[in-house]
Amino acid sequence: MRPLLRIGSILLGTALCAVQVQAQVEGGPWPDGRKTAVVLTYDDSLPSHLDIAIPALDKVGLKGTFFLIGKQLGPDQIERWRAASQEGHELANHTLRHACLQGDNAEGRKLGSSDSYDVEMMLEEIQMMNNLLSAIDGKARHGYATPCGQHLAGGVDYLPALRESNIVQYHRGAWWAGETELDPMDLPATWFDEKATGADMIAAVEKASESGGLVVLGFHGVGGDYLKVNAKAHAELLAYLKANEDKIWVAPLSSVMAHTGR
């Protein structure tokens, strides 16, 4: 029987209106009897991921999940992302163009609007990005994160069609409210930006630890780019996770979903 996951949420005081999400596992422990599972996710295939985040993760032996945008990938970056995958980091789908509602793309991102899409076009773009990712990492299936946390194409919710298509392994969203069974095709995340301290990030993990839960942490820039977290604060979080690895399981999102049977 698959373990039952249930989640609750609280608000954190960051500019992204971050949501602390817990997933209570009632069906069994995390690997090696660890109390909590933590997933570190990074959006938009940014230079700071390659230059700062991945070296910081590698330094302490932790692995993250990186949601890549196809149009952001230059030839030199592709080889670096391939090397990151070979070291155990997960590469996942963030579409080719990062199209979301007009005006919702962050400052500094020259990206498209999903208003001009329909559902079929969006799913085709997601599949094309899957093909590109497979060419980089050699893997047949990939997870997906919606641009801007939205799943609208021409004003129509494309998540039902994405579920039915089975072209992605899971879908990580952005926000959550209320309490219900965790949905692997609409996973929430806790977001941090430059106002967040290392203590804020650690507190999110500790909150999940109180009930043996899962917390998915979301970042954009790390020490650079946009919507960035402070590199020192990020390093403090990683040091805490490493120091408590006997109690906290840090793994890519695909590994966590596989463990839960989702």
Question: Would you call 158 exposed, middle or buried from its count of C-beta atoms within 10 A (0-12, 13-18, 19+)?
Answer: buried
If the chain, 262 residues long, is cut into consecutive pieces of 10 residues, what is the mean pLDDT of each piece? 35 35 46 93 97 98 98 93 98 94 54 84 98 98 94 94 97 66 84 94 90 89 96 98 96 94 76
Cα 7 to Cα 20: distance, rounded to the nearest angstrom: 10
For residue 36, what are its two tokens? 């909590």
What is the predicted pLDDT for the residue at 174?
79
* Alpha helices for 64-150 (secondary structure H): 75-86, 119-137
For residue 30, what are its two tokens? 């995390």
User: Sign of the C-alpha dihedral, residues 131, 55, 215, 9?
Assistant: negative
Question: DSSP code of 247?
Answer: T
What is the predicted pLDDT for the residue at 104?
52
What is the predicted pLDDT for the residue at 115?
84
For residue 164, what are its two tokens? 């039915």
What is the predicted pLDDT for the residue at 139?
97
What is the predicted pLDDT for the residue at 11?
29
Domain tally for the chain? 1
What is the predicted pLDDT for the residue at 27?
30
What is the predicted pLDDT for the residue at 7?
37
Identify the CATH number of the domain in which residue 213 sits.
Answer: 3.20.20.370
Which domain range does residue 87 map to?
A: 5-260
**171, β-bridge pairs:** 144
Q: Which amino acid, residue 124?
A: E
Q: Say if residues 114 and 154 touch (Cβ distance below 8 Å).
A: yes
What is the predicted pLDDT for the residue at 260?
86
Cα 35 to Cα 247: distance, rounded to the nearest angstrom: 5
3-state secondary structure of 245: coil
> Alpha-carbon dihedral of residues 52, 259, 123, 78, nearest 10 degrees?
30
pTM: 0.88
DSSP structure string for 32-78: GG-SEEEEEEEES--HHIIIIIHHHHHHHT---EEEE-GGG--HHHH
What is the predicted pLDDT for the residue at 175?
67
